[in-house]
Amino acid sequence: MKLCAFGELLIDVAPYGVSDRKFPIYEFNPGGAPANVAVAVRNLGQDASFIGQVGNDHFGRFLKDTLESKKVDTEGLLLSSKYPTSLAIVSIGDNGERSFSFYRKNNADVMVEFNDLFKHKIEEANIFHIGSVSMTDEPCRQTSFDCLNYAKSMNKVISYDPNLRRLLWDDLDIAKKMILKGLEYADIVKLSEEELTFLTESDDYEVASRLLSAQYPFKLLLITFGSNGCAYLYKNTYKHIPSFHVHSVDTTGAGDGFFGSVLAQIMEKEINLDQLDYDTLNQIGRIANACGAFATTQKGAIGSLAYPADIKKMLGE
């Protein structure tokens, strides 16, 4: 099976200590949530492609090379000579939690337009994966929904990570509207606890999950709680699965490692989403928690995503 991910591919500019003159040193890490998910899936032995656009500049070529080094199919990654690659400046708190500021206005990922190459890559995949960062501005917003409509017309399984980045939206009411519009297409959805509350205005996570499930046609909802693990809602069953205790140094990419693991397991087992059993769901959640926790023990996003051997160590096997 194969996953096709669409969206932002950018440079995470992350702190990496201080110089001998006491100035901060930064490291340029490859990132972008949909690309992270594609790499996570590929690390775990499943095929993945990435479609989108970066600048035909030093950063863009570095990102393309990085995906190719991870054996992600980049045939659908466009290199623009007109628009530069986006940057996300990462700040890390004492507990490893990160915050972002973005240099992205009119950059390559924002200015991408739907095209026949994207159609081809969606056609050859089994799962189409998308986030909401590509829905923040035009023309990438329209491109996002063009991709979703095309994937739906091709009867692809659609996985969706709303991945709210408040600083990227001029208006949070529009953010909520666009994110909820994305839910109309999705089969598998991953939300953080913050995103679930943002969309439903409820901090009772089970109630909020059931509210969304009653309104939208997704089949499987996953909620992540950071160090407190995850929960799922499938059909009428809501269940929490505890996480693994690790020493976290950087949570960048943890949610993508988690979601990539879920999708890779579904792909490996060729699971029919209408016929999931709860033992399988519990196993999927436990392994995904291990992948998410492992990612927090390393710096950066793509470089911190787990391989099968890392999961076995986390599980004590």
Q: pLDDT tens track of the chain, all 317 residues?
A: 999 999 999 998 888 889 999 998 998 989 899 999 999 999 999 999 999 999 999 999 999 999 999 999 999 999 999 999 999 887 777 666 667 788 998 999 999 999 999 999 999 999 999 999 999 999 999 999 999 999 999 999 999 999 999 989 999 999 999 999 999 999 999 999 999 999 999 999 999 999 999 999 999 999 999 889 999 999 999 999 998 888 887 777 899 999 999 999 999 999 999 999 999 999 999 999 999 999 988 876 787 898 999 999 888 86
pLDDT of residue 94: 67
What is the DSSP annotation of 140-190? HHHHHHHHHHHHHHTT-EEEEE----GGG-S-HHHHHHHHHHHHTT-SEEE
**Domains of the chain from N-terminus onward:** 2-314 (3.40.1190.20)
pLDDT of residue 167: 87
Q: 285: closest CA among 308, 251, 304, 258?
A: 258
Distance CA 299, CA 141 (A): 30
Biggest alpha carbon–alpha carbon distance for the chain: 60
Sequence-ordered list of residues with C-beta below 8 angstroms from that of 37, at least 6 positions apart, any chain: 3, 5, 129, 159, 161, 256, 259, 260, 263
pLDDT of residue 95: 65
What is the SS3 assignment for 9? Answer: coil
pLDDT of residue 317: 65
Distance CA 94, CA 99 (A): 12
Distance CA 174, CA 155 (A): 28
